[in-house]
């Protein structure tokens, strides 16, 4: 997190904020407020302290809401006080993080609400902004969904290219057991599904099925494995997929297509 913040500040400020240095006296003090301009689910607020700590010159930071909180239009998320130059040079970086991460959390909450009352849980994916995965997955969790694997290192997900490279479904599963990690396998046909179940798979991924097809496959699985559905799952159809009897549905749109929320920063001189 520290490195991501440092890189973001370096990218924006570079050798110095020339506008602020020209317009604002060095000793000027100010206060600022981060204000939601639409209803949203807050996320990324914990980054504010790291942003200001890296630049210095801030004596007071108050977080008035927490990640995961539902926030109303015109509600204040946080306040900050200190050197006016610091507040101005950090404004865009702070807003970029808050707007982006609150967008992920807000969309995640809508997915979670869409499947409420079913036994199905919504998962995120690895379709994240490069270098921001940890933050975006934290935001997704704040919105109320479940984090899938963090990367290629913490769980096994056997997909069609792995099956091809291993020589078949059974061979891929048997070789994957040596990793000592949870194993999930994607199957594309009923024959692959049966082969995976016969090989002892306890978590299968069914991709690009219509809800009615998915329900039929899940009835055939009959509880022998956990089932995740993916591919083409949107906010409009996620409820239909959740009602198939699946344990999980996953959607990359939660992280790759979330809209930045409208949050503003208002500065006032001391």
Which active-site residues does the annotation give?
Answer: 92, 127, 159, 186, 207
Task: Find, among 148, 153, 34, the residue nearest to 87 by Cα.
Answer: 34
Q: What stretch of H or E contains 12?
A: helix 2-13
Q: What stretch of H or E contains 207?
A: strand 203-207
Spell out the residues 6+ positions from residue 230 whose beta carbon is closer than 8 angstroms to its own. Answer: 125, 205, 206, 207, 208, 249, 250, 251
**Strand arrangement of the beta sheet that strand 121-123 belongs to:** 121-123, 248-250, 226-230, 203-207, 183-187, 156-158
Task: Find, among 146, 139, 147, the residue nearest to 259 by Cα.
Answer: 139
Task: Find, among 213, 205, 211, the residue nearest to 185 by Cα.
Answer: 205
């Amino acid at each position: 997190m520290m490195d991501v913040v440092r890189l973001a500040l370096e990218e924006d400020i570079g050798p110095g904020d020339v506008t602020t240095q020209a317009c604002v006296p060095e000793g000027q003090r100010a206060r600022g407020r981060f204000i939601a301009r639409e209803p949203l689910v807050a996320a990324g607020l914990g980054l504010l302290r790291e942003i200001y700590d890296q630049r210095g010159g801030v004596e007071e930071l108050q977080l008035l809401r927490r990640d995961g909180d539902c926030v109303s239009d015109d509600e204040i998320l946080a306040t900050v006080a200190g050197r006016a130059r610091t507040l101005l040079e950090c404004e865009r970086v702070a807003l970029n993080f808050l707007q982006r991460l609150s967008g992920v959390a807000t969309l995640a909450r809508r997915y979670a609400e869409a499947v409420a009352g079913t036994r199905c849980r919504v998962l995120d994916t690895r379709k994240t902004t490069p270098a921001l995965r940890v933050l975006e997955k934290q935001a997704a969790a704040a919105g109320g969904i479940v984090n899938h694997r963090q990367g290629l290192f913490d769980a096994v997900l056997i997909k069609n290219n792995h099956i091809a490279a291993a020589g078949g479904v059974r061979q891929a599963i048997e070789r994957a057991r040596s990793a000592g990690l949870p194993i999930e396998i994607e199957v594309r046909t009923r024959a692959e599904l049966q082969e995976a179940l016969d090989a002892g798979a306890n978590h299968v991924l069914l991709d690009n099925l219509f809800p009615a097809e998915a329900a039929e496959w899940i009835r055939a699985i009959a509880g022998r494995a956990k089932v995740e559905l993916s591919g083409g799952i949107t906010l409009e159809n996620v409820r239909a997929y959740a009602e198939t009897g699946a344990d999980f549905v996953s959607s990359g749109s939660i992280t790759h297509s979330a809209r930045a929320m409208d949050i503003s920063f208002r500065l006032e001189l001391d």
